[in-house]
């Protein structure tokens, strides 16, 4: 696939209290932004099991975004801090698997930050477009690859 | 030997031999096993050949115990042959079950492994740069070796597996229980791991010393401190895979004052033992400060190798991305 025709496939896990509402605000305010992030609503960024992230990459995601409430604002007190710790540790592990840490992003977006959500989606999409496709697409483990 | 006794085969693929030892370690009990079954193939102990197995009718072996992952073409061929000849196949031990320690080679590939093993280790003396070849012609004669794959696979990624005996190596009581269950026909549903489906912490004697809230301020490796013989390892800041590992091992490592390394693999509810442990471990780091989190995370010597020590080939990603192997 040439660089020009490559459309990054991104998966975004958004917490329902802040970031999903923020994304909704971007929509109702009719902000335009890159349509590459496939949004999955979760109750809390702390609910995102690292297995979800690995599965997303395996199934063909070029990048994975987790987005939650700003530090101190978690609806469940500290789910977002758990997400932060998991993100940093999983980023290191992903690099050992040959997946660049730029492909796995954590962002804080509050319910009132539609514009920030717009900027995060645009920025992430452009970064991954430059980085190129990951191409795992369900393989990774037959004996010859 | 009579035809009425059930036929049993043992085979080893990519493994260290410890699983063979685990069968010999049945000690006197092995005599009961030998009395009840007819061993038709066991390369490590008995002089039967591949052609003897090939000559048996299909499905005529009651059960084959295969240990080791699949790293070479010969192992794949033998696994397929035994599958065809057997009614049941048991993945014996962590390597057949999950890929095992040899599966950590999935962070490299054939080329980089050969380069390291045959050319660049400090102790290598190989001026002609000879590496194993699948075909070599010497004095007009062709010699062959099995193909070496880029990726180690768990047994069930190559053939259908009926039961799994976990562990590095499986403990004697689990082996005996499995053999008895097979002989008596009292088997759980196919696909079962023959060990209780709960985490090691559930059975661990040190669980009662675990504080209400685990909070790790510093991550230590076992050699960096005098390990308390009674306190929960995680409470001491030592990585212990217990929370993400299936129980049934008899806590052999814990008894020897060493943390769990995860050889029994995950429980049935978990796809990826490493990711699940990562999730639990990150959540008990005692800091919310970004810089401190990065310092703590950076202090783990080899997180992927530690969390996936036995399970890399059976994990979600299975191996390092080939394009990224250098």
At residue B310, what are phi and psi to the nearest 5 degrees? -110, -10
Question: Is B280 an 8 Å CB contact of chain A?
Answer: no
Using CA coordinates, name the residue in chain B closest to A82. B283
pLDDT confidence band for B183 (50 / 70 / 90): confident
Residues 115-154 of B with CB under 8 A from A: 149-151, 153
Strand partners, A65: A12, A105
> Which of these CATH numbers, 2.60.40.3140, 3.90.950.20, 3.40.50.450, 3.40.50.700, describes B7-101+151-184?
3.40.50.700
> Within 13 Å and on the Cβ side, how many CA atoms surround B1?
5
Q: Do B317 and A136 touch (CB under 8 A)?
A: yes
What rounded mean pLDDT belongs to chain B?
A: 95
- CA A115 to chain B, closest CA, distance in angstroms equals 24
How much is the average pLDDT of A75-87?
Answer: 97
Segment B238-275, tens digit of pLDDT: 999 999 999 999 999 999 999 999 999 999 999 999 99
Cα(B313)–Cα(B157) distance, integer angstroms: 9
Q: What is the pLDDT of residue B299?
A: 97
The pTM (predicted TM-score) of the whole model is: 0.94
ipTM: 0.94
Q: What is the pLDDT of residue A145?
A: 45
Measured in whole angstroms, the distance separating CA B293 from the mean position of its chain's CA atoms is 32
Of B131, B33, B128, B15, which Cα lies nearest the Cα of B79?
B15
Cα(B307)–Cα(A68) distance, integer angstroms: 26
For each of the domains in chain A, give its residue range(s) and CATH number, in order of start. Answer: 10-131 (3.40.50)
Q: By percentage, how much of chain B surpasses pLDDT 70?
A: 99
Question: Is A138 an 8 Å CB contact of chain B?
Answer: no
> Chain B contacts of A93, Cβ < 8 Å?
274, 278, 303-304, 307
Segment A100-109, tens digit of pLDDT: 999 999 999 9
How much is the average pLDDT of B152-164?
Answer: 97
Cα(B258)–Cα(B265) distance, integer angstroms: 17
Q: Do B282 and A89 touch (CB under 8 A)?
A: yes
Predicted confidence (pLDDT) at residue A75 exceeds the cutoff of 50? yes
Segment B94-107, tens digit of pLDDT: 999 999 999 999 99
Cα(B247)–Cα(B167) distance, integer angstroms: 10
Cα(A88)–Cα(B68) distance, integer angstroms: 34
Cα(A37)–Cα(A19) distance, integer angstroms: 13
Q: Do A98 and B325 touch (CB under 8 A)?
A: yes
- CA A114 to chain B, closest CA, distance in angstroms equals 25
**Which residue among B302, B316, B323 places its CB closest to the CB of A58?**
B316
pLDDT confidence band for B30 (50 / 70 / 90): confident
Tell me how crowded residue B50 is: count the other CB atoms within 10 A of its CB: 13
Predicted confidence (pLDDT) at residue B1 exceeds the cutoff of 50? no
Is A145 in contact with A139 (CB distance < 8 Å)? yes
- CA B297 to chain A, closest CA, distance in angstroms equals 6
Cite the residue boundaries of each domain of chain B with CATH code 3.40.50.700: 7-101+151-184
pLDDT confidence band for A135 (50 / 70 / 90): confident
Q: Residues B203, B204, B207, B213: what is their CA dihedral angle, to the nearest 10 degrees? A: -90
Predicted confidence (pLDDT) at residue B3 exceeds the cutoff of 70? no
**Which residue among A51, A89, A98 places its CB closest to the CB of B297?**
A89
Element (H, E) at B305: helix B303-307
pLDDT confidence band for A5 (50 / 70 / 90): confident
Predicted confidence (pLDDT) at residue B162 exceeds the cutoff of 90? yes
Tell me how crowded residue B40 is: count the other CB atoms within 10 A of its CB: 20
- CA A136 to chain B, closest CA, distance in angstroms equals 8
Question: Is B272 an 8 Å CB contact of chain A?
Answer: yes
């Amino acid at each position: 696939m040439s660089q020009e025709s490559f459309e990054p496939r991104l998966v975004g896990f958004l917490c329902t209290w802040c970031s999903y509402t923020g994304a909704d605000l971007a929509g109702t305010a009719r902000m335009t932004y890159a349509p590459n992030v496939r949004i999955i609503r979760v109750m809390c960024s702390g609910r995102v099991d690292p297995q979800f992230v690995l599965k997303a990459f395996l199934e063909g995601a070029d990048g994975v975004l987790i987005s939650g409430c700003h530090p101190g604002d978690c609806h469940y007190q500290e789910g977002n801090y758990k997400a932060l710790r998991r993100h940093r540790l999983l980023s290191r592990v992903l690099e050992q698997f040959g997946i660049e840490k730029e492909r796995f992003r954590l962002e804080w977006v509050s319910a009132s930050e539609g514009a920030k959500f717009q900027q995060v989606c645009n920025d992430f999409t452009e970064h991954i477009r430059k980085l190129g496709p990951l191409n795992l697409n369900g393989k990774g483990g037959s004996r010859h690859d | 030997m009579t035809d009425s006794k059930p036929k049993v085969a043992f085979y080893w693929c990519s493994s260290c031999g410890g699983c063979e030892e685990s069968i010999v370690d049945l000690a006197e009990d092995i005599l009961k096993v030998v009395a009840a079954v007819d061993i038709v193939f066991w390369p490590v102990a008995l002089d039967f050949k591949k052609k003897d197995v090939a000559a048996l009718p299909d499905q005529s072996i009651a059960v084959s115990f295969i240990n080791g992952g699949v790293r070479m073409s010969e192992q794949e061929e033998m696994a397929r042959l035994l599958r065809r000849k057997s009614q049941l196949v048991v993945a014996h031990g962590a390597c057949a079950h999950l890929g095992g320690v040899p599966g950590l080679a999935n962070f490299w590939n054939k080329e980089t492994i050969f380069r390291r093993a045959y050319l660049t280790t400090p102790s290598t003396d190989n001026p002609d740069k000879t590496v194993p070849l699948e075909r070599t012609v010497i004095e007009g004669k062709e010699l062959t070796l099995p193909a070496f794959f880029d990726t180690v696979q768990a047994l069930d990624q190559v053939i259908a597996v009926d039961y799994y005996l976990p562990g590095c190596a499986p403990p004697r009581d689990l082996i005996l229980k499995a053999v008895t269950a097979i002989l008596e026909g009292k088997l759980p549903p196919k696909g079962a791991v023959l060990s209780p489906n709960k985490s090691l912490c559930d059975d661990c004697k040190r669980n009662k010393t675990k504080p209400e809230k685990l909070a790790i301020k510093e991550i230590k490796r076992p050699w960096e401190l005098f390990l308390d013989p009674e306190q929960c390892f995680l409470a001491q800041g030592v990585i212990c895979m217990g929370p993400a590992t299936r129980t049934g091992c008899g806590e052999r490592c814990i008894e020897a004052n060493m943390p769990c390394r995860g050889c029994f693999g995950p429980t049935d509810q978990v796809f990826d033992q490493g990711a699940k442990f990562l999730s639990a471990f990150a959540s008990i780091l005692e800091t919310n400060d970004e810089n401190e989190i990065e310092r703590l995370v950076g202090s783990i010597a080899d997180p992927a190798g530690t969390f996936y020590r036995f399970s890399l080939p059976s994990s979600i990603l299975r191996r390092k991305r080939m394009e990224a192997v250098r």
